[in-house]
Amino acid sequence: MAQNNIIPAAAGSVVSGRGERSIGAILIDAGKLTPEDAERILRLQREQGLRFGNAATQLGLITQADIDFAISRQFDYPYLVHGHSKVSEDLVAAYTPFSPQVEALRALRSQLMVRWFDTDPARRALAVVSAARNEGRSFIAANLAVVFSQLGEHTLLIDTDMRNPCQHELFGLDNRGGLSAILSGRGGPEMIQRIPSLLDLSVLPAGALPPNPLELLARPLFPQLLGELATEFDVILLDTPAAAECSDAQTIAVCAGAALVVIHKNTTRISQVRRITDSLSQGSATVVGAVLNEF
């Protein structure tokens, strides 16, 4: 798989809309233009034969970011506007969808669609693994979930790291209920939380930290749960614990059927990557590829 250098940026109210609305109407509704501003723009547009956006920027009334905002609403391409969401700004795909970093994520998404995901329910889940903590595994998993949902794929992100979970923090979710409750028989699919600001995206947090995470993952209930969810979701991404610290990641990848290995530039050792890929192969999990992460 081609390597991708992903470097987070910051930048997001919810953007989703209807294609028949004009850019001017969208920007007025969003409070970025006044009706008087729109009239000035329309006059210049008629006088010089410009596009609405070009006329508005020539007058200094809006920025290119405002135009991107309006176009995204026209084409039902959801993203977030800074200061209007609980979602962490580490989710660059949710806040800056037109940045080079997110373009790299979309390229990664395309390769995953070719190499693994298809209409077969047995190929709907993918574990995102890495050797150690702080290598960007959770960052990649979360941002990939966002870009898959932006493609229109019904996407579920599961935080299977019941040792050091963080997806609830990234998405601003309640973590009192989650995967640990389901696997211990104290909850069900109602623990899955929709992300209302991002169409087609749901998250299942890790939940309360159990004393026996590996034992919970090894129960037949976990692959059964993934099988049931595969009939409801097009893409299921699983954020995993650090592979060098416990055996959870291997168990999760085997249940998912495949894994994407995250490598951190100038941090991850080749020997660690070999150990991970060997253990996954021995467990009959497909290693779909590797992504070089830098952030």
* Cα(240)–Cα(178) distance, integer angstroms: 14
| Cβ atoms of residues 226 and 256 within 8 Å | yes
Mean pLDDT calculated for residue range 155-161 = 98
pTM listed for this prediction:
0.78
Query: Which residue's entry shows tokens 């592979």?
Result: 243
| Cβ atoms of residues 9 and 99 within 8 Å | yes
Mean pLDDT calculated for residue range 188-201 = 90
Residues 6+ apart with CB under 8 A from 229: 124, 125, 156, 189, 236
For residue 26, what are the CA distances in angstroms to 16, 38, 196? 10, 11, 20
Q: Which of 26-30, 76-80, 207-211, 274-278 has the lowest mean pLDDT?
A: 76-80
Residue 19's pLDDT is: 43
pLDDT digits (tens, 9 = 90+) for 224-261: 999 999 999 999 999 999 999 999 999 999 999 999 99
pLDDT digits (tens, 9 = 90+) for 49-58: 988 888 888 9
